[in-house]
Amino acid sequence: MNLHVIDTGFFKLDGGAMFGVVPKSIWEKRHAPDANNLCTWAMRCLLIEDGKRLILIDNGIGDKQDAKFFGHYDLHGEGSLEGSLMKAGFNKEDITDVFLTHLHFDHCGGSIVRHGDKLVPAFKNATYWSNADHWKWATEPNPREKASFLKENIMPIKESGQLKFIGTSPSPETSKTELGFDVLRVDGHTDAMMIPHIQYKGRTLCYMADLLPSVHHISLPWVMAYDTRPLITMTEKAAFLERAADGNFVLFFEHDAVHQCATLERAEKGIRLKETFPLSAL
């Protein structure tokens, strides 16, 4: 098995939204905002090369929305989905599976592209994987999350016939998948988000999605205001951090603008960051 970092670029989100109840006077020392209180975040995806399978986990924000939409997020950086795939030696036609941790636009926007006046799958030879509970949650959205679940990112997947569902178990148990890795279901950020647990070079590597967007979110009170159930997020984080520290898990961050991976350790005041490193260091 080989793992490849797929850099799809950077975007900006409000610092207060990303750090929730943590005062700006504290979080700005770790992640400085710009003049508009916006902080830079990565959209870092992961490509699993495993035998005949080429599995892409999440795919960034895409490029099919209009200038007004993208103007809210200040997209920047040299990384792109296609460019990163090419750098790894592949193209979109090579992808056999697209695993979507959840269906917020910054995680699944690259799933669908415009072809003339039609919206079609960007990965025409791939199976797209979600789960039934999250799919229902995203296609019948609540008012709080409706702006994050864009129909043009989601419905064409089902219409294409390329969609399949994975079964999930209640947290903190992980579920086995047809893709060769296990997933942890978590419900605090959004209903039935999935955290892949990949066995790689004798280690468990966890693709953190929005359970831990960055190293800054390791501390329990640092929960995004975007989370629909922040108290559940804290419970889920606490259970995960215990297992991750004891198992020496490698955490792979989707949104950390600087750090790709990290490990944890037990300290006097709880679970803390141990070290950070690029995926290539494994």
Task: Return the minimum-mean-pLDDT range out of 68-72, 73-77, 142-146, 167-171.
Answer: 167-171
Question: Residue 269 — very low, low, confident or very high, per pLDDT cuts 50/70/90?
Answer: confident
One-letter identity of residue 88: A
Question: Residue 221 — very low, low, confident or very high, per pLDDT cuts 50/70/90?
Answer: very high
Q: What is the C-alpha to C-alpha distance for residues 152 and 269, in angstroms, rounded to an integer?
A: 45
Sort strands 203-207 and 250-252 into parallel, antiparallel or unpaired.
parallel
Question: Residue 173 — very low, low, confident or very high, per pLDDT cuts 50/70/90?
Answer: confident
Residue 115 contacts by C-beta under 8 Å, 6 or more apart in sequence? none
Exposure on the CB side of residue 207, measured as CA atoms within 13 A: 32
Q: What is the mean pLDDT of residues 123-149?
A: 97
Return phi, psi of residue 89, to 5°: 95, 20
- Does domain 2-281 match CATH 3.60.15.10? yes
Distances 276 to 8, 86, 196 between C-alpha atoms, Å: 21, 26, 19
pLDDT the model gives residue 201: 96
Q: What is the 3-state secondary structure (H, E, C) of the chain?
A: CEEEEEEEEEEEEEHHHHHCCCCHHHHCCCCCCCCCCEEEEEEEEEEEEECCEEEEECCCCCCCCCHHHHHCCCCECCCCHHHHHHHCCCCHHHCCEEECCCCCHHHHHHHEEEECCEEEECCCCCEEEECHHHHHHHHCCCCCCHHHCCHHHHHHHHHCCCEEECCCCCCCCEEECCCCCEEEEECCCCCCEEEEEEEECCEEEEECCCCCCCHHHCCCCCCCCCCCCHHHHHHHHHHHHHHHHHHCCEEECCCCCCCCEEEEEEECCEEEEEEEECHHHC
The residues spanned by each domain of the chain are: 2-281
Structure tokens at 21: 């109840």
Q: What is the mean pLDDT of residues 4-29?
A: 97
Sort strands 112-115 and 2-14 into parallel, antiparallel or unpaired.
unpaired
Question: Residue 80 — very low, low, confident or very high, per pLDDT cuts 50/70/90?
Answer: very high
Average pLDDT, the chain: 96
pLDDT the model gives residue 18: 98
pLDDT tens-digit map of 138-148: 999 999 999 99
Q: Is the pLDDT of residue 171 over 80?
A: no
Question: Residue 239 — very low, low, confident or very high, per pLDDT cuts 50/70/90?
Answer: very high
Q: What is the mean pLDDT of residues 127-147?
A: 97
Q: Is the pLDDT of residue 233 over 90?
A: yes
Q: What is the C-alpha to C-alpha distance for residues 276 and 66, in angstroms, rounded to an integer?
A: 36
Question: Residue 216 — very low, low, confident or very high, per pLDDT cuts 50/70/90?
Answer: very high
Q: What is the mean pLDDT of residues 133-154?
A: 96
Question: Residue 30 — very low, low, confident or very high, per pLDDT cuts 50/70/90?
Answer: very high
Q: Is the pLDDT of residue 169 over 90?
A: no
Q: What is the mean pLDDT of residues 53-68?
A: 95
pLDDT the model gives residue 252: 98
